[in-house]
Amino acid sequence: GGTDDDLKLCSHTMMLPTWGQLEGRMIVTAYEHGLDNVTEEAVTVVVYAVEKHLKDILESVISRRKAYRLRDGHFKYAFGSNVNPQPYLKNSVVAYNNLTECPPTCLAPPPGQNLASHPPPDDAEQQAALLLACSGDTAPASLPPVNMYDLFEALQIHREVIPAHTIYALNIERIILKLWHPNHEELQQDKIHRQRLAAKEGLFIY
């Protein structure tokens, strides 16, 4: 029983593989390609790569449902924050135009620290309070949980999250199959078919 559980794929267990399971899969793959061993560093890299890949997929889904802000023109953050400019407040536009996401470049950074580091906590808290005060008072409508339709739409728009065409096409096909549901006639026909099969084996199904 334990061996069968170890051989199950993520699609069956609905969980990410453990470090040991991933190492076992990599050893088998390495052996099939003529390699003798797999280093711990290689397994660690694959673990981080899987986490990064899943984060990219989740980000593509959430960015389609919630508003967000950009840092440096590409880094998405502050998903779902209800901080929208209030057009009737003069300070609102000024607060958003003067939004500082990094400390001033004129300040000399400490040794080993990048210029694009986060602002001091006090400044960040003051900035967040000002933006909240200048935002609208209408709370956004609550969204339903993420479903397969959200994932299907996100993967169609952000195809770069799965760059391999074969893997992309296979997963899109799986999503479409998950979205399909039999109607009442098909369910009734399936029930009749199961009853006929059971009757041949001498069983009864109600």
Calculate the average pLDDT of the chain: 78
pLDDT over 90 at 132, yes or no: no
pLDDT for the residue 171: 92
* Confidence band of 182 (pLDDT split at 50, 70, 90): confident
Residue 50, both tokens: 């899987």
pLDDT, tens digit (0-9, with 9 covering 90-100), for 151-173? 999 999 999 999 999 999 999 99
* Confidence band of 5 (pLDDT split at 50, 70, 90): very low
The H or E element containing residue 19 is helix 19-32
pLDDT for the residue 54: 92
User: 139 and 82 in contact (C-beta within 8 Å)?
Assistant: yes
pLDDT, tens digit (0-9, with 9 covering 90-100), for 33-48? 999 889 999 999 999 9
**3-class secondary structure, 35:** coil
User: What is the mean pLDDT of the segment spanning 98-110?
Assistant: 45
pLDDT over 50 at 2, yes or no: no
Residue 86, both tokens: 């209030």
Supply the pTM of this predicted model.
0.63
Task: Return the axis-axis angle of helices 121-133 and 90-97, rounded to nearest 10°.
Answer: 150
